[in-house]
Amino acid sequence: MVISAVIPAAGLSTRMHRYKPLLKLGNLTILEHTIRLFKKCNIADIIVVTGHNQEQIEPLIKKNGARPVFNKNFKTGMLGSIKTGVKNISSRNSGFFLLPVDIPLIRESSVHNLTSRFKKNPEHIIIPEFNKKPGHPPLIPAWLIPEILDLKTSSNLGKLLLSLQDYQKRQIVHDHGILMDADNKKAYDDLKIRYQTIDIPDKKECRSIIQENLKREKSIKAHVELVAKIAVTLAREIQEQSSENETSKYTLDINLILAGALLHDIKRKEADHASVGAQLILSLGFSKVADIISQHMDLALPLTDHLTEAQIIYFADKLCNGSKLDFNYDKRFKEKIKLTPSAENIILRRYEHTQLIQDRIESLVKKPVKSILSRLI
């Protein structure tokens, strides 16, 4: 099954007041990010439709392994560019992704999910959905190309797709990026912020993952929310207090701590849930979060002298008795030993690590953990 990608990049960028394809996210342009997304997902046939500033971007398109095609009527709007793109798709191909150039920060896992769904339903239009909102890129079957080419100038592709409800399949993706474009300065600024944390799911994305995997597990959801509050509160206190001392200054990734805490029990109902949960999150492209999830039961040894995001989440988890904050973890560890004496050595090691992390935190911030978390009691 051969799938193409069509990237309209012919517009005038009138709302942005800057030429969108060449705006930067890190060291790459938006155009390069969009092309490379499909390259990384093994989409070999990538068509970029040019128009305004054709001469300026064609070399960049070719350099990144895509095909530029020129829409001479680019001033008439997006539909003309879409038609120009699909005209250049081989008749042997099964379908195509459609992604405007100004929607560059979609995750590879989302494209893979759409492709997998399309392979099961090759006659359907596969539309990504995040938080019940449809976004880009839709994956459109090749049989629709003649109907797209027959559309009148006064129409648009959206109307055609809406008329084909029976042929639509929604694919849930945990990817806020399907709804984010660079339509104006504010939207571009939001993309720049997202780019800095693209490898970590934001709060909405975490909750989307939780909703899919723990839909009816109210107690587990309450537990992870509490662990997240504890972990973030501790991390912020550590950073604030240590900032006054340059020799012991801490730079903790609050976004990583929030995501790791919210997702640490994502597979709580399964055996070896730390490992299984880490594998799930790794499959979504979040390797840093997966590493933390894998350690929330047993920290990787040897423990570093420097407090890490994984250690803070580990400790926050041990301060929770279900969905309640409970500082008396000594009692709970002792009860676990009574229940499973064969695991005494493992339980004692976990207890020692919990005590060690508490000592490190309190030594660093010069106050008891209970005082730091008083507003959560």
Domain ranges of the chain: 3-196, 203-376
Give the model's pLDDT for residue 125: 97
Give the model's pLDDT for residue 246: 55
Q: Assign a CATH topology to domain 203-376.
A: Hypothetical protein af1432 (1.10.3210)
Q: How far, in Å, CA of 349 to CA of 145, rounded?
A: 62
Give the model's pLDDT for residue 247: 54
CATH class of 3-196: alpha beta
10-residue mean pLDDT series, the chain (377 residues): 95 80 96 97 96 94 97 90 95 96 96 96 96 96 96 88 92 97 93 95 97 95 98 94 66 96 97 96 96 96 90 97 95 95 95 96 94 91
pTM: 0.90
Give the model's pLDDT for residue 244: 65
Give the model's pLDDT for residue 287: 96
Give the model's pLDDT for residue 197: 92
